Amino acid sequence: MSLEQTPIVEIQNVSKQFGSLYAVDDISLSIYPGEFFSLLGASGCGKTTLLRMLAGFETPTTGRIFIDGQDITDLPPYKRPINMMFQSYALFPHMSVADNIAFGLRQEKMPKAERDQRVEEMMQLVQISKLAKRKPHQLSGGQRQRVALARALAKHPKILLLDEPLGALDKKLREQTQFELVNLQERLGITFIVVTHDQEEAMTMSSRIALLREGRIVQVDAPRRLYEYPNCRYSADFIGSINLLDAEVISQDEDLVTLKTDAFEQPLQVYHGQPLIAEMDVTVAIRPEKIRVVNSSGTHNANTIEGVIKEIAYLGDVSIYHVELPSGKRIQFTQSNIQALAEQPLTWEDKVCLSWQADSCNLLLE
Amino acid sequence: MNPSLSGNNPLAKLSGRGLLIGAPWFWMGVFFLLPFLFIIKLSLSEAALMQPPYLPFIREIEDGLVTLVVNFGNYSLLFEDPLYWKALLSSIEIAAIATLVTLLIGYPMAYAIAKAPKAWRLPLLMLIILPFWTSFLIRVYAWIGILKTNGILNDALLGLGLIDQPLEILYTPTAVYIGIVYSYLPFMILPLYATLIRLDDTLLEAAADLGCPPWKQFLTVTLPLSLPGIIAGSMLVFIPVMGEFVIPDLLGGPNTLMIGKLMWTEFFNNKDWPLASALAAVLLVVLIIPFVLWQHFEKRLEMRQ
């Protein structure tokens, strides 16, 4: 994201208090035009409250929200240049599909001919032209989702808010719809802000993700960076699976840090740009797919350990192996199954030697 | 017992399911259809000064010779004498106006209860239902005390200096309307509340999100979606008010013409059971019409989809 660009949405120190509880606690965020931005987090992290404040259904206790430089904090929902797709879709049960989509256009008193044309365009966009006369209760879940999307897009909003847009769909349809949403967003150039609890969904669709926890932002980054360079244990653990090792800093030679851990005798080595203090308690995070099985020759080298395979989960494309170290600590690693078949297959109780590069793991301070 | 009959004995085939479905049919048959058939039969008889006060259908003319006499005179009298027409029209008018007034008062009340904080809803509903604890008759009598010339209302208004002369309300149509609206308001509020409480608030949020200000949200979302409650409440008020007898009798003057009151007069004062029965039959037919119309309308709505 280039810094010269002006944000389309600017959230400044926004908090929302319900009773004594802070649902959103001093969040500041800038979202830029054309982004597919995800608010990701477990339930109760405040992501929905933040979205509802953007839509205007909740008023921030403190802080301001700007859209295109205009302060919209006190603007009622019906005056905001934002539309929202609701988690429950909230289709009007007494109106046909076409009338649902036309609802917003009627509010702005668009002439009938133009309105009909826009409704037709929207229905084509989400491929539901044949359903124009149906009522919501005559539609399947996937069709309803499309109507909700068409209705929210009909007014050509600057920003579209989507609350768990794929939450009610089954897995197969969800995967397909993910790509359709991304294509649609790229084609229309509208800024999408999505709330989701599903990290895979966020990873697939987003240009950037804000990971939230207990009303605060943990990390804001592109999916790749969030995965490769988590800034704390929480985000490392939330996105994908990872091995977390408690470690203590021994020495730092330029960027190469050497550490010791209770999990095994061998020293750990990680690259870390910031200066560290010896004997500092830190966490080393290693993704399972970055661990390789090696010959048991160099077991005294750093980042090389030995253990016994205790569990194997076969997932088709990859297998996950749980390895028990002599200390009792378990380490996970994954191997693509093409590789597993080519080499000698690994099985239960096999003794393996594992190794990883110092630049393929992360040192986390908190 | 005839063996061929015992094989077809419907009692032998009665299963639990049959009993369950049969029970309401039995109930309707014995307590509604049968009495109604009696009414029809009575309405086709001739009034007479005897006990019971009508001539039987089947009469013995001479020894052994029997004749069946069906008398349509009661019905033709209903159509000929303008009194009955006027009573019917006046009942429809009173019931329609009273229904509209209860709707106008009941809707905001039901809406307010449905939108009230959860802890408040039950107590508020209890306040609506509470008057049922007291006998209907006593409550209507109480209105006499309130509305009469030197009653509570006039005393209060005179005391406040709002009026110089006591208002003549009791024994006027106004008193009848007050009594009806008061008595039937809960029947309007409860079905309205039941539909309004089920209304999904996110629909209003969706409407707001699409640019709809609150008053228009009410007209485009809340009102059409509460239509079933409006219809149910209106029927619950309109139908019994059409046959209402106690309220016009106690609060209305001699000029308040209602079919229920007329029926009572025919039955008890004039001892004309057949004519009263004919009136009852006509009233039933009149009341069925809105039902049939509504069902037709509903079907058309479904067909259109």
Tell me: the pLDDT tens digits for B119-174?
999 999 999 999 889 999 999 999 999 999 888 999 999 999 888 888 888 999 99
- Integer Cα distance of B71 and B43 in angstroms: 8
Q: Residue A4 above 70 pLDDT?
A: no
CA–CA distance from A32 to each of A27, A53, A81, A224, A365 (Å)?
Answer: 16, 18, 15, 18, 30
Which of A218, A237, A256 is where one domain is finished? A237
Q: Is A155 on the interface with B (CB under 8 A)?
A: yes
Q: What percent of chain A has pLDDT over 90?
A: 73
Nearest chain B CA: its distance from A92 CA (Å): 7
- Closest Cα in chain B to A88: B202
Please check whether residue B279 lies inside any domain of the structure.
no
Q: In sequence order, which ranges of A27-134 are alpha helices (DSSP H)? A: 47-55, 97-107, 112-125
Q: Is A90 on the interface with B (CB under 8 A)?
A: yes
* Global pTM value: 0.83
Closest partner CB to A92 (pick from B208, B216, B221): B221
Q: Is residue A39 within 8 Å of residue A195, measured between CB atoms?
A: yes
Partnered with residue A258 across adjacent β-strands are A251, A269
pLDDT score of B6:
47
**Segments forming the whole domain that contains residue A293:** 241-364
Q: Residue A331 above 70 pLDDT?
A: yes
Partnered with residue B32 across adjacent β-strands are none
- Residue B87's nearest CA partner among B266, B251, B237 is B266
pLDDT score of B10:
58
Q: Residue B4 above 60 pLDDT?
A: no
- Residue B103's nearest CA partner among B271, B203, B208, B227 is B227
Same domain, A94 and A171: yes
Q: Is residue A155 within 8 Å of residue A108, measured between CB atoms?
A: yes
Please check whether residue B160 lies inside any domain of the structure.
yes
Query: Average model confidence (pLDDT) for chain A?
Result: 91
Read off the pLDDT band of B301 (50, 70, 90).
Answer: low
Q: Residue B5 above 50 pLDDT?
A: no
Q: Residue A294 above 90 pLDDT?
A: no
Same domain, B44 and B96: no
Query: Average model confidence (pLDDT) for chain B?
Result: 88
Same domain, A13 and A109: yes
pLDDT score of B57:
77
Which of A191, A214, A237 is where one domain is finished? A237
Same domain, B26 and B87: no
Instruction: Please list every residue in chain A whose beta carbon sits closer than 8 Å to the beta carbon of residue B200.
Output: 88, 90
Read off the pLDDT band of A255 (50, 70, 90).
Answer: confident
Q: Residue B15 above 80 pLDDT?
A: no
Closest partner CB to A90 (pick from B205, B211, B216): B205
Please report, for the domain that includes residue A218, its CATH number.
3.40.50.300
Please check whether residue A2 lies inside any domain of the structure.
no
Same domain, A265 and A225: no
Number of compact structural domains in chain A:
2
Please check whether residue B213 lies inside any domain of the structure.
yes
Instruction: Please list every residue in chain B whose beta carbon sits closer than 8 Å to the beta carbon of residue A92.
Output: 203, 206-207, 221
Same domain, A47 and A166: yes
pLDDT score of B253:
82
Closest partner CB to B225 (pick from A57, A76, A94): A94
Q: What does the block give as tokens for A273?
A: 């740009």
Tell me: the pLDDT tens digits for A172-225?
888 888 999 999 999 999 999 999 999 999 999 999 999 999 999 999 999 999
Same domain, A146 and A26: yes
Same domain, A158 and A300: no
* Binding-site residues on chain B for chain A (CB distance < 8 A): 200, 202-203, 205-213, 216, 220-221, 224-225, 305
Give me the total of CB pairs closer than 8 Å, taking one residue from chain A and one from chain B: 62
Same domain, B214 and B179: yes
Q: Do B211 and A55 touch (CB under 8 A)?
A: no
Same domain, B28 and B168: no
Q: Residue B294 above 90 pLDDT?
A: no
Please check whether residue B290 lies inside any domain of the structure.
no
Q: Is residue B236 within 8 Å of residue B244, measured between CB atoms?
A: no
Q: Do B207 and A103 touch (CB under 8 A)?
A: yes
Report, as an integer, the average pLDDT of A242-255: 91
- Closest Cα in chain B to A132: B305
Same domain, B242 and B120: yes
Q: Give yes or no for a cis peptide into B52 (omega within 30° of 0).
A: yes
Q: Is residue A262 within 8 Å of residue A284, measured between CB atoms?
A: no
Which of A237, A270, A292 is where one domain is finished? A237
Number of compact structural domains in chain B:
2
Please check whether residue B280 lies inside any domain of the structure.
no
Report, as an integer, the average pLDDT of A224-233: 93
Q: Is A107 on the interface with B (CB under 8 A)?
A: yes
Report, as an integer, the average pLDDT of B96-107: 97
**Segments forming the whole domain that contains residue B42:** 3-68
